[in-house]
Amino acid sequence: MNPRLLILALALLLVLGGCSWIKSWGDDEIEPGDPLPLVEFTPTLQTRKLWSVRVGDGIGRQRTQLRPILSNGIIYAADYRGVLTAINAESGRKQWEVETELPFSGGPGLSGDMLMLGSQDGEVFAFDSGNGNRLWTAQVTSEVLAPPVAQDGIVVVRSIDGRVFGLNQANGKRIWIYDHSVPLLTLRGNSRPLVRAG
């Protein structure tokens, strides 16, 4: 077969493959049906707002993964400008609030009486959950979006560049690092590390 004819046939096949009118040859026009009626229902759960508290500026226009965490009747929350707050879950009253001026981007995570947060600058911070005092600061390689997780004395932190760090829970010193490359085309965000004993 002539190579030019083969190339022409392949080019024609590719061009015609993108034409939507070819696929409708021989098909009759199909009319869309009427929409289904809405279902009538009676709500079985009644809710009411007990309280509302503002935590700093929230996440603002930042694309952070700051989420409140609840433990033993206390809600811990942070904003992207460094406000860290402990709130009584029953009354909504603030137990304490600290303005750290740190660029929080991930967290908080909680282990015992230690709160852990990551920053846009690749820092990991540990705070006392009883009063908000900073316990230590550690540096990782890039922004931390996922809440740090701790188990068996090791704080596990995942940075946005794909690395996972094991930090000493007592002082923040690096124990180990796992380097995993991130694909060139990826969505911005990380999931919380899953830590299992053994």
How far apart are alpha carbons 47 and 162 in whole angstroms?
41
Q: Which of 113, 104, 148, 119 is nearest to 132 (CA)?
A: 113
Lowest mean per-residue pLDDT among 1-15, 67-81, 174-188: 1-15
Widest distance between CA atoms in the chain: 83
pLDDT tier at 5 (50, 70, 90 boundaries)?
Answer: confident
The residue with greater pLDDT, 35 or 30, is: 35
**pLDDT score of 99 more than 70:** yes
Q: What's the pLDDT at 180?
A: 78
Residue 97 has phi, psi (to 5 degrees) of -145, 135
Token pair listed for 47 = 């809710």
DSSP string, 39-56: PP---------------T
Starting at the edge strand that comes first in sequence, how are the strands of the sheet with 94-99 ordered? 69-71, 74-78, 83-88, 94-99
124-176: per-residue pLDDT in tens? 999 999 999 999 999 999 989 889 999 999 999 999 888 999 999 999 999 99
Residue 154 or 198, more confident: 154
Share of the chain above pLDDT 70, in %: 81
Domains and CATH numbers, the chain: 65-178 (2.40.128.630)
User: Model-level pTM?
Assistant: 0.72
Q: By CB neighbour count within 10 A (0-12 exposed, 13-18 middle, 19+ buried), where does 97 fall?
A: middle
